[in-house]
Amino acid sequence: MYFHIMTLFPEMVLGGLNESITGKAIEKGLIGVDAVNIRDFAGNRYGHVDDYTYGGGAGMLMQPGPVYDAYQHVLAQIAVRKEKKGTSAQAKKVRVLYMTPQGQPFKQCMAEEYAKEEDLVLLCGHYEGIDERVLEMIVTDYVSIGDFVLTGGELPAMMIVDATSRLVPGVLGSDESAVYESFYDGLLEYPQYTRPEEFMGKKVPEVLLSGHHKNIEEWRYEQSMQRTQERRPDLYEIYVEVHREELEKRR
Ligand code: ADE
């Protein structure tokens, strides 16, 4: 899977994503991350890509031209790669996500959808945002990572690349990926412990040392339920609603 990040700060995104699990996935060729510098398409020798807003108001806005040209460059790169692979025939419309607090709140199920794409374009705004006309022309999804305002779309883009790439086959070890497929789906994860068995007087719960798999499973499920009810009552309510029948049988 290939991520194309359109940004004014390519080093910021590449620096982060080249580390840890995403870094390893890049090394192994399981994902590709390309950061396209919108400033390279400024069309003036000063590299200016922003200007004042029509109608007045504070702050500067990114101009449509450089964003559009950077997007065309991304499309050309995708076409070249597909041509090389000999898959150019069915050119599918590429998904372009614009990072904005005005977007749809990002959820795990969205990462699952994105992970099905071969190419994903992530557009990062800066200053007061981007001229509306180019957004209308190229954006397919408006995505927010929460109800707060950041200085730019780079951190949100990195989060989406991270959450999506861990769903790409091979990126996580088989042990890790199993977690999401388990029947704990929709609940928060249970507490976990490693060595030492006792830390500053606090012991690892007895059941986890018992080797009794059924009891361990049961304990973890109860912990997941309790934790979700306490910390995320919104998710708990949905879980109870969806699993009503199973829960009644358990009683
Ligand atoms: N850009 C600035 N703030 C953002 C947010 N909360 N989500 C996505 N993109 C953003």
One pLDDT digit (tens) per residue for the chain, 251 residues: 999 999 999 999 999 999 999 999 999 999 999 999 999 999 999 999 999 999 999 999 999 999 999 999 999 999 999 999 987 656 689 999 999 999 999 999 999 999 999 999 999 998 789 999 999 999 999 999 999 999 999 999 999 999 999 999 999 987 666 455 444 689 999 999 999 999 999 999 999 999 999 999 999 999 999 999 999 999 999 999 999 999 999 88
* Global confidence as pTM: 0.93
Distance (Å, rounded) from C-alpha 32 to C-alpha 1?
A: 6
Within a domain: residue 177?
no
Residues 12 and 82 in one domain: yes
- Cβ pair 161, 33 in contact under 8 A: yes
For the Cβ of 124 lying below 6 angstroms from any atom of ligand 1, the answer is no
At residue 250, the pLDDT reads: 85
**What is the whole-number distance in angstroms between the Cα of residue 23 and the centre of ligand 1?**
24
Do residues 140 and 58 share a domain?
Answer: yes
Question: Which residues, including other chains, have CB under 8 Å from residue 118's CB and lie 6 or more apart?
Answer: 1, 2, 92
Selection from 21, 116, 131 nearest residue 66 by Cα: 131
Does the residue 174 lie in any domain?
no
Which residue in the block uniquely carries the two structure tokens 């304990």? 219
The amino acid at residue 113 is E
Query: And the tokens for 251?
Result: 């009683």
Of 111, 131, 165, which residue is a domain's last?
Answer: 165
Contact call for residues 31 and 168 (beta carbons, < 8 A): yes
Distance CA 246, CA 240 (A): 9
Number of domains in the chain: 2
Domain finish residue from 165, 196, 229: 165
212: its two tokens: 């009794």
Do residues 129 and 212 share a domain? no
- On whether residue 171 sits in a domain, the answer given is no
Find the domain containing 212 and state its range. Answer: 182-250
Q: Indicate if 152 and 59 belong to the same structural domain.
A: yes
Does some domain include residue 193? yes
Give the CATH number of the domain where residue 126 resides: 3.40.1280.10
Decide if 127 contacts 60 (C-beta within 8 A): yes
Q: Identify the domain boundary among 165, 193, 217.
A: 165
- The protein residue whose alpha carbon is closest to atom 2 in ligand 1 is 150
Structure token pair of residue 31: 């994902």
Q: Same domain, yes or no, for 143 and 235? A: no
Whether 63 lines ligand 1, by a CB cut-off of 6 Å, is no
Is residue 154 located within the same domain as residue 229?
no
Shared-domain flag, residues 93 and 187: no
Q: Is residue 237 helix, strand or coil? A: helix
Tell me if 187 sits within 8 A of 224, measured CB to CB: yes
Check which CATH number belongs to the domain holding 237 and give it: 1.10.1270.20
Task: Decide: 13 in ligand 1 pocket, CB within 6 A.
Answer: no
Same domain, 159 and 204: no
pLDDT for res 90: 63
Does the ipTM exceed 0.90? yes
Instruction: Let me know if 232 is exposed, middle or buried by CB neighbors in 10 A (0-12, 13-18, 19+).
Output: middle
What is the signed CA dihedral for 37, 42, 48, 54, rounded to 10 degrees?
Answer: -110
Neighbours of 244 (CB within 10 A): 10
102 alpha carbon to ligand 1 midpoint, in Å? 8
What residue's CA is closest to ligand 1, atom 4? 101
Q: Is 17 annotated as a binding residue?
A: no
